[in-house]
Amino acid sequence: MIARVTRRPRQKRIVILGGGFGGVYAAIHLEKLLERQSAVEICLVSHDNFFLFTPMLHEVAASDLEMTNIVNPLRKLLHKVEVLVGDVHQIDLSAKRVSISRSFRNHPQQIGYDHLVIALGSVTNFYNLPGIAELAVPMKSLSDAIRLRAQILRHLEEANSECNPIDRQSLLTFVVAGGGFAGVETVAALNDFLRQALPFYPNLCEEMLRVMLVHSGPVILPELCQDLGRYAQKVLARRGVEIRFNTRVKSMTEGNVSLVDGLSIPTRNLVWTAGAVPSPLIFSLPCPKKQGRLLVNQFLQVPDWPNVWAVGDCAFVPDIRNPGKSHPRTAQHAIREGNIVAQNIAAVLLRRPLKSFSFKTIGLFASIGRRIGVARIFGFNFSGFFAWWMWRTVYLSKLPGLDKKVRVAFDWTLDLLFPKDVCAVHDFDRRRDFHRQDHTTNPVPPPPRSMAPGQRQRASSRFGRLIITTSASNSPSPPNTKEKPARWLTVTASRRSKAISPASHPRAPMPIAESL
C-alpha cells in the first residue's frame, strides 16, 4: 500500500520584536485581522512578560499606585500570539532570522520570519557623562520607578538618623535632570511624595528638603506651548521645587552633582530623564537611519526590505503632511502605528492595497503634582484642576484591562483618604544577606558614612540599634570604598568566582550569581 502524503502549505510567520506600545498594539490588531487565517502564526518577543503603561510610571515612584497596577501580562492581552520572553540579540535581515536568548539560562534560539515588525523602543542616553550611568536613576522601566521609590525611602530613613548636617543635606537633596514631560511629572510627584512622607520622620522637616529640576532650555515642557510651561514653573516653584534653567548636568559623584554652569550640588539623588536613543540593535542594521532611528516609508516599511516594518520610538516615521519631519515619539503615535502596520501586513498577505500612516496629535497632558495639570487639546490650552482631571480620565481610559482600570481607580480614591505608604519593601540595592556581601573588598560591616572611624563607637551607643542596623547593611560605604550598586557586585563576584574556584579555595564565599 502506498501512503499518501498531503503537504500542508508552510505557515507564514510574523515576528514582532518589543512588547511596548507599538509591538503590543500591532499584535492585538494582527490577531483580529488574521483571525481566520490558519496559515499565519504570530509571535512576539520581549524582555518582560508584561506591557508597561509608561504615562503612569511616576505614580509608582511616588507611591500613588501599586506597581502591578500599571502593567498587564502579555499573555492576558494576547490570546493567539505566541509570547516569547527573552532578549533579542541580533537581527539578520538577509537570512530573515532573529537571534534571541530565553530564560535565566540564556537559552539561545533562532527564529525565522516572513514579516518582521521592529518595535524595540528606546533606551536611556547618559551621554557618557562621568558617573551618571552608575549613580543616577533613570525613569524608563518599572524597575527604575521601584528603585527610585526605594531610594527615596532609604535616604529618608538614613537622613532621619544622620547627625552630620552636611551628609543629611545631601541625602535630602533630590535633583531631576530633564524638563520634558517625564522629568516634570517625576519631579512634581517626587516632591509631593517627599513632603507627605516627612511627618513620619520626627527628625526631619520641610526646610531640610531640597528638590531641584535642571532644564537645558529657558522654559520647561517644551513639547507644550510656552504659556503652559511658565504656568507649570510657577506651580512647581510655589510647591518648593527649585528650577535651574539653561543648564545641564555635567557629572555626578557619590555625593555631588555638577552642572555645566559651574554649580555644584551636594546630593546623593539624581533622577535622569534627560535623554533617550533608539535601541542599540537599530545601529547594527544595514538600513538607512535618520536621527539614529530606522527610516520607514509612509506605509511603515523599511525601504529595500519590503517585509520588514518598524514602529514606535525606534522608527523615523515621516509626517506626510509636513515633508522632512517625523511624527513625535509618543505612546499615542506608537499605538496608531501598531494599528496601521497590522493592517498593512494583513494587506500584503491578502493582496490588498497598503495604507499610509498619518495621525495628528489629539492632545498632550502633564500632571504637575497634586490635583494640578496642564493640557493642550486641539490647540486649546487648559491648566489647573480641570487639566489634571482630564489627565487622569484620559489615561485611565487608555490603560488596558478592566481589572487594572478598577485597581488604579481604587488606588487613586484611597490616596485621597489615607497618607502615602512609606514601606521600603522593594529596596533591592540594600543588601542584608551575609552571603551576598562582597567579603574580599568589604570584610567588616562599615561604619556609617557620616562618621570617622574613631567616632563610630560613640555614635553607636548614642543611637543604639538604629545605627548598628544601618551600618550592617551595605548601604553606607566604608571611608575608602565606594558604595557598589547591586549590578557592580554581581560583576565583581562573577569575576572573582573565576579567579578563586571553590576547588582551589574551599572557604571562598559562594559566587553571587549562584547564591542569588
Binding site for ligand FAD (CB under 6 A): 18-23, 45-48, 54-55, 57, 87-88, 119-121, 139-140, 181-182, 279, 281, 312-314, 329-332, 334
Q: Which residue has the cell 492632545?
A: 363
DSSP 318: B
Q: Is the dihedral of CA 384, 385, 388, 394 positive or negative?
A: negative
Decide: helix, strand or coil at residue 465. Answer: helix
The x, y and z cell numbers of residue 103, run together, are 530564560
CB of 390 to ligand FAD, least distance (A): 12
CA 186 – CA 149 distance, rounded (Å): 11
- Please check whether residue 333 is in contact with residue 340, taking contact to mean a CB–CB distance below 8 angstroms: no
- Please check whether residue 243 is in contact with residue 209, taking contact to mean a CB–CB distance below 8 angstroms: no
Instruction: For ligand FAD, give the closer residue by CB, 266 or 292.
Output: 292
CB of 208 to ligand FAD, least distance (A): 28
CB of 36 to ligand FAD, least distance (A): 27
489 pairs with which residues across the strands? none
Instruction: For ligand FAD, give the closer residue by CB, 204 or 366.
Output: 366
Triad 360, 182, 168: Cα angle to 5°? 170
Q: In this structure, what are the phi and psi dihedrals at residue 477, rounded to the nearest 5 degrees?
A: -95, 155
Instruction: For ligand FAD, give the closer residue by CB, 187 or 467.
Output: 187
CB of 52 to ligand FAD, least distance (A): 7
Closest residue to ligand FAD, judged by C-beta, is 20
CB of 344 to ligand FAD, least distance (A): 17
- Please check whether residue 400 is in contact with residue 53, taking contact to mean a CB–CB distance below 8 angstroms: yes
Decide: helix, strand or coil at residue 328. Answer: coil
Instruction: For ligand FAD, give the closer residue by CB, 257 or 334.
Output: 334
CB of 24 to ligand FAD, least distance (A): 7
CB of 473 to ligand FAD, least distance (A): 29
Radius of gyration in angstroms for the set of CA atoms belonging to the chain, rounded to a whole number? 25
Angle between helices 456-463 and 465-472 (to 10 degrees): 120
Instruction: For ligand FAD, give the closer residue by CB, 22 or 229.
Output: 22
Instruction: For ligand FAD, give the closer residue by CB, 172 or 282.
Output: 282
469: Cβ contacts below 8 Å, ≥ 6 apart: none
Instruction: For ligand FAD, give the closer residue by CB, 122 or 471.
Output: 122
Instruction: For ligand FAD, give the closer residue by CB, 302 or 459.
Output: 302
Classify residue 160 by burial, with Cβ atoms within 10 Å: 0-12, 13-18, 19+: middle
Instruction: For ligand FAD, give the closer residue by CB, 100 or 422.
Output: 100
CA 458 – CA 446 distance, rounded (Å): 15
Q: Which of 352, 336, 349 is nearest to 300 (CA)?
A: 336
CB of 20 to ligand FAD, least distance (A): 2
Instruction: For ligand FAD, give the closer residue by CB, 20 or 476.
Output: 20
In DSSP notation, 278-292 reads E-HHHHTSSS-EETT
Instruction: For ligand FAD, give the closer residue by CB, 211 or 459.
Output: 211
Q: Which residue has the cell 534627560?
A: 274
Q: In this structure, what are the phi and psi dihedrals at residue 243, rounded to the nearest 5 degrees?
A: -115, 130
Decide: helix, strand or coil at residue 315. Answer: strand
CB of 114 to ligand FAD, least distance (A): 20
Count other C-beta atoms under 10 Å from residue 144's C-beta. Answer: 19
CB of 515 to ligand FAD, least distance (A): 27
- Please check whether residue 326 is in contact with residue 319, taking contact to mean a CB–CB distance below 8 angstroms: yes
CB of 282 to ligand FAD, least distance (A): 10
Classify residue 99 by burial, with Cβ atoms within 10 Å: 0-12, 13-18, 19+: middle
CB of 253 to ligand FAD, least distance (A): 26
Instruction: For ligand FAD, give the closer residue by CB, 19 or 369.
Output: 19
Count other C-beta atoms under 10 Å from residue 253's C-beta. Answer: 14
DSSP 398: H
